[in-house]
């Protein structure tokens, strides 16, 4: 991990690293315990019915020049492609977005309040939603890896727990390697700052899915992997508050 790897660069760059970028030498202890905390029953309890999701008013926001643009999907089209109790990638995608929008709403309401100063109720909300988002992201990645032999349904959801735990455990080792080069750059903006990164990854995944072809630069599988990685990072920052 970056905090334990010997520094062999010049004195200048070592000083820049320690003086401008924040590191937590105990982050590995936090992240190592996350795989075992993946709980299928807890994640399932957070999943919404199709009717609940479509009633939540999904919308996209962006700016073109000085104008804010808001777009919305046709719920009739979405409804025709979703099957209640069947958690294929389409359903899981919307389930993940639902959890994301809840957290985004909290951040929008308290944009200048540091995370540790939020009420315990909001902190609990962050932990629960990020657990669910991590679980769902792991399932999406498992689908992309073709490691799920059957479609996940209401009846077999609990049996995904071991697969999800193993996939999250696998990603933690990848995060160690990346942090050796990125230097825990996510600490600059904390959990709030991970939301735009998560949006970038889920948006890229949706774009490639809509194109229906292999990516010319980075495979869709990699977007699913990165989505899971950022979910783990965000969730770990909540657990550091312990």
User: How confident is the prediction along the chain (242 residues), in pLDDT tens digits per residue?
Assistant: 344 667 888 999 889 988 999 989 888 889 999 999 999 999 999 999 999 999 998 999 999 999 999 999 999 999 999 999 999 999 999 999 999 999 999 999 999 998 889 999 999 999 999 999 999 999 999 999 999 989 999 999 999 999 999 999 999 988 877 776 778 888 888 999 999 999 999 999 999 999 987 767 778 899 999 999 999 999 999 999 87
Residue 28 lies in a domain: yes
Q: What is residue 67's three-state secondary structure? A: strand
Query: How many independent structural domains does the chain possess?
Result: 1
Q: Does residue 174 lie within any of the structural domains?
A: yes
Spatial distance between the Cα atoms of 52 and 194, rounded to a whole number of angstroms: 26
Residue 201 falls within a domain, yes or no? yes
Contact 199, 100 (CB under 8 A): yes
220/198 Cα distance (integer angstroms): 15
In a domain, 44, yes or no: yes
Does the residue 143 lie in any domain? yes
Kindly state whether residue 200 falls inside one of the protein's structural domains: yes
Q: Kindly report the pTM of this predicted structure.
A: 0.93
In-domain check, residue 163: yes
Range of the domain at 233: 11-239
151 CB-near residues (< 8 Å, 6+ apart)? 86, 87, 88
Residue that the structure tokens 């643009």 belong to: 69
- Measure Cα distances from 110 to 98, 104, 123, 135, 241 in Å: 19, 10, 12, 26, 18
């Amino acid at each position: 991990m970056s905090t334990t790897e010997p520094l062999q660069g010049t004195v200048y760059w070592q000083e820049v690293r320690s003086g401008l970028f924040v590191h937590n030498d105990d982050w590995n202890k936090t992240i190592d315990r996350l795989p075992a905390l993946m709980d299928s029953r807890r994640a399932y309890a957070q999943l919404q019915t199709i009717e609940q999701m479509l009633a939540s008013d999904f919308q996209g926001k962006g700016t073109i020049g000085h104008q804010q643009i808001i777009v919305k999907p046709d719920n009739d089209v979405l409804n025709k492609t979703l099957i209640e109790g069947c958690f294929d990638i389409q359903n899981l995608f919307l389930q993940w977005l639902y959890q994301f929008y809840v957290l985004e709403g909290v951040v929008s309401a308290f944009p200048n309040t540091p995370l540790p100063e939020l009420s315990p109720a909001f902190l609990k909300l962050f932990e629960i939603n990020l657990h669910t988002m991590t679980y769902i992201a792991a399932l999406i990645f498992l689908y992309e890896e073709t490691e799920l032999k059957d479609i996940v349904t209401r009846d077999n959801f609990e049996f995904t727990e071991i697969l999800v735990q193993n996939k999250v455990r696998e990603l933690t080792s990848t995060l160690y390697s990346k942090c050796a080069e990125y230097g825990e750059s996510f600490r600059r903006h904390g959990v709030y700052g991970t939301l735009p990164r998560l949006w970038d990854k889920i948006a890229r995944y949706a774009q490639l899915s809509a194109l229906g072809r292999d990516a010319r630069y980075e495979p869709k599988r990699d977007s699913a992997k990165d989505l899971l990685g950022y979910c783990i990072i965000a969730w770990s920052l909540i657990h550091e508050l312990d």
